[in-house]
Amino acid sequence: MYYSPLADSHGWHYGLSVPICAGKLGELNSFPVEIVRQKNFLYTVSKYGKAVYGEKIRKTGEGYLREWNPKRSKVAAAILKKLSELPLRQASSVLYLGASSGTTVSHFSDICRSGKIFAVEKAYDPFVKLLDLADSRDNIYPIIEDAGQIERYSFFINRVDFIYQDIAQRNQVQIFNNAAAYFSEARDAMLVIKVRAISSKGSEKDILLKEASKISGFRVIETIDLSPYSRSNYMLRLRRY
């Protein structure tokens, strides 16, 4: 196990960005102010000017705009597919299960600038990239461990406000339920249901409904089909009962 506690000309201006309010213009608390949208392009406001995964970066007066690619990040895809709320704030403490190499983690890091991102990934190769990302940021805490083995990493984490999970395992809902039960203070969550990781046969809708019915402790607020950005994957936004 490894744990690293790391102590414009386009009209977008740091600190003056208009929040995205997908489908409900005027509800200014639905999305963090660190997310901005220009037509079909999405950005996070960042103090970091180095690309993480080849994304385009624009310099602004007091920072940078990092393009949030919906083909590389399911959260960005969900926002462009009319996600109604992203319950993250600057001081949020996030448990991210299935962090991979850190693409979406990096955007969460931009948003939760005074918070903490506890990023759990068990595969060595992507974890090396995640570790490099954490070395260049002050709010990412990488953990190399199986997300389902909570007792092996939970003592690193002092508080969780929000759980995000994107794991391609058949028991993905069970993994989420275990984490949600342990970190009972988390009020909000987002869970990617990767239908074809559960079964290669049968109706996607039937599999999705069956898996959603297994979620405990949270109710499903909205479900978003991530196609065409990410096929056979669905984003569920959840809130604790």
Residue whose structure tokens are 């989420």: 176
User: Is 80 exceeded by the pLDDT of residue 26?
Assistant: no
Q: What is the pLDDT of residue 25?
A: 23
Q: What is the pLDDT of residue 62?
A: 78
User: Is 70 exceeded by the pLDDT of residue 13?
Assistant: no
Q: Are 190 and 164 in contact (CB under 8 A)?
A: yes
Q: Are 170 and 162 in contact (CB under 8 A)?
A: no
Question: What are the sequence ranges of the domains in the chain?
Answer: 93-240
| Cis before 32 (ω within 30) | no
Average pLDDT over residues 38-52: 94
Percentage of the chain exceeding pLDDT 90: 85
Task: Give the helix ranges, DSSP H, for 119-203.
Answer: 124-135, 172-182, 195-198
Nearest to 193 by CA among 219, 156, 160, 224: 224
Specify the pTM: 0.88
Q: CA-CA-CA-CA torsion for 214, 96, 150, 143, nearest 10 degrees?
A: 160
Q: What is the pLDDT of residue 170?
A: 96
Average pLDDT over residues 186-195: 98
Q: What is the pLDDT of residue 122?
A: 97
Q: What is the pLDDT of residue 128?
A: 98
Cα separation, 137 vs 192, in Å, equals 25
pLDDT digits (tens, 9 = 90+) for 71-91: 999 999 999 999 999 999 999
Cα separation, 120 vs 100, in Å, equals 8
**Higher pLDDT pick, 28 / 15:** 28
pLDDT digits (tens, 9 = 90+) for 122-146: 999 999 999 999 999 999 999 999 9
Q: Are 226 and 78 in contact (CB under 8 A)?
A: yes
User: Is 60 exceeded by the pLDDT of residue 241?
Assistant: yes
Q: What is the pLDDT of residue 29?
A: 55
Residue type, 153: Y
Q: What is the pLDDT of residue 39?
A: 84
Q: What is the pLDDT of residue 61?
A: 81
Structural tokens at position 34: 């660190």
User: Is 50 exceeded by the pLDDT of residue 185?
Assistant: yes
Q: What is the pLDDT of residue 123?
A: 98
Average pLDDT over residues 216-229: 98
User: Is 90 exceeded by the pLDDT of residue 114?
Assistant: yes
Phi, psi of 36 (to 5 degrees): -130, 155
CATH of domain 93-240: 3.40.50.150
